[in-house]
Structure formats: structure tokens, C-alpha cells
């Protein structure tokens, strides 16, 4: 699935459409430059999954979790590995314990460390001139 969006609201609408295909237990990687719209996409997705809290970038907190409420999905876990430099930092998070059937996990900047995530979905967001973004969702 690929589309070009022209503002944040369109990106969040696409994220909401994608969110409707989730069942729980998914690991989703978000690839794209700084300011591409990875966090904006997660905001749209989280809202569609019933998250009412304000979703902010986990750049400094590394991992944020939010209660969700859509069918079996009870939790959204949002990570940003931008500041990571090695796999030991990842191990300290014990992500295997966080990856549960009742949770959707989203990771921004998975590619800064040489770890092979077994992801269900990869979302690539690319600048396409001005506010345009090309978003490619690969299952
Ligand atoms: P990232 O998490 O990829 O670093 P953010 O989601 O934090 O990026 O920021 C994206 C920025 O780009 C926001 O300031 C947002 O308003 C802006 N923006 C402009 N056009 C778009 C678009 N089509 N989709 C998403 N964000 C957009
Ligand atoms: Mg971000």
C-alpha cells in the first residue's frame, strides 16, 4: 500500500485506515528522515486504536505506552531508538516481554542499530516536496 499525503491530517487519516487492519501483537517499524512524519503517523494510529492520551515523541523517554481500546488491542507501545548506539541498550528494554497479543508496538529509527527486528509491517515515509510525503506500507 502506497499513498502520497499533503498534510499531517492526511497522514493521520492514512494511519487510521491502516490501524483498522491490526489485530494486536504486531511489531511495526517506521523508517524515514527526521521530520518525515513517523510520530505524526503513530499519533493517527493511536487515536484510531482508542488512545485518548496525547502521544508525544519518545525521543528522550525511549519508550512510551498508552492504554488503548479497540477489540483485543489494549495497549500501544511507542519507541524511538534515535539515540541508541548499540544493541545492549535494546536488550535492556526487554522488548520481548512488551510484545504481547494485546499490544501494538511501533518503533521509530529501528535502523540505527544492527538488530534484525522480526517485524510484521514496515512503514517508510519519504519527503516528496514541501509538505508532501510518500508513505509505503509493506506487510
Ligand atoms: P518524525 O517523527 O518522522 O521525526 P514528526 O512526525 O515528529 O516526524 O514531524 C513531522 C513534521 O512534518 C510535523 O511538524 C508535521 O506538521 C510536518 N508535516 C508536514 N506535512 C506532513 C505530512 N504530509 N505528513 C506528516 N507530517 C507532515
Ligand atoms: Mg519521531
Ligand number with the minimum distance to the CA of 37: 1
Between CA 16 and CA 12 the distance in angstroms is 6
Side-chain-side CA neighbours of 16 within 13 Å: the count stands at 11
The pLDDT tens digits for 105-127 are 999 999 999 888 999 999 999 99
| Distance, C-alpha 65 to centroid of its chain | 12
Q: Taking Cα atoms as reference points, which of 52, 31, 62 lies closest to residue 135?
A: 31
Q: For residue 33, which atom of ligand 1 is closest to its CA?
A: 3
Find out whether the beta carbon of 46 lies less than 6 Å from any atom of ligand 1: no
Q: What is the dihedral of CA 117, 51, 71, 61, to 10 degrees?
A: 30
At residue 114, the pLDDT reads 87
Say which ligand is closest to the CA of 38: 1
Output the CA 126–ligand 1 centroid distance in Å. Answer: 10
- Worst-scoring range by mean pLDDT, 6-10, 39-43, 63-67, 112-116? 112-116
- Look at the pTM and tell me if it is higher than 0.75: yes
pLDDT tens for 23-52 read 999 999 999 999 999 999 999 999 999 999
Amino acid at each position: 500500500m502506497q499513498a502520497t499525503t499533503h498534510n499531517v491530517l492526511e497522514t493521520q487519516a492514512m494511519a487510521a485506515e491502516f490501524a483498522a487492519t491490526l489485530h494486536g501483537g504486531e511489531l511495526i517499524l517506521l523508517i524515514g528522515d527526521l521530520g518525515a512524519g513517523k510520530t505524526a503517523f503513530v499519533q493517527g494510529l493511536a487515536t484510531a486504536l482508542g488512545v485518548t492520551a496525547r502521544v508525544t515523541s519518545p525521543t528522550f523517554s525511549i519508550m512510551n505506552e498508552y492504554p488503548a481500546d479497540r477489540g483485543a488491542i489494549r495497549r500501544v507501545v511507542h519507541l524511538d531508538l534515535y539515540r541508541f548506539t548499540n544493541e545492549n541498550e535494546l536488550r535492556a528494554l526487554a522488548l520481548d516481554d512488551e510484545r504481547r497479543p494485546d499490544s501494538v508496538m511501533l518503533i521509530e529509527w529501528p535502523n540505527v542499530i544492527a538488530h534484525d527486528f522480526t517485524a510484521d509491517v514496515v512503514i517508510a515515509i519519504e519527503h516528496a516536496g514541501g509538505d508532501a510525503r510518500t508513505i509505503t506500507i509493506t506487510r
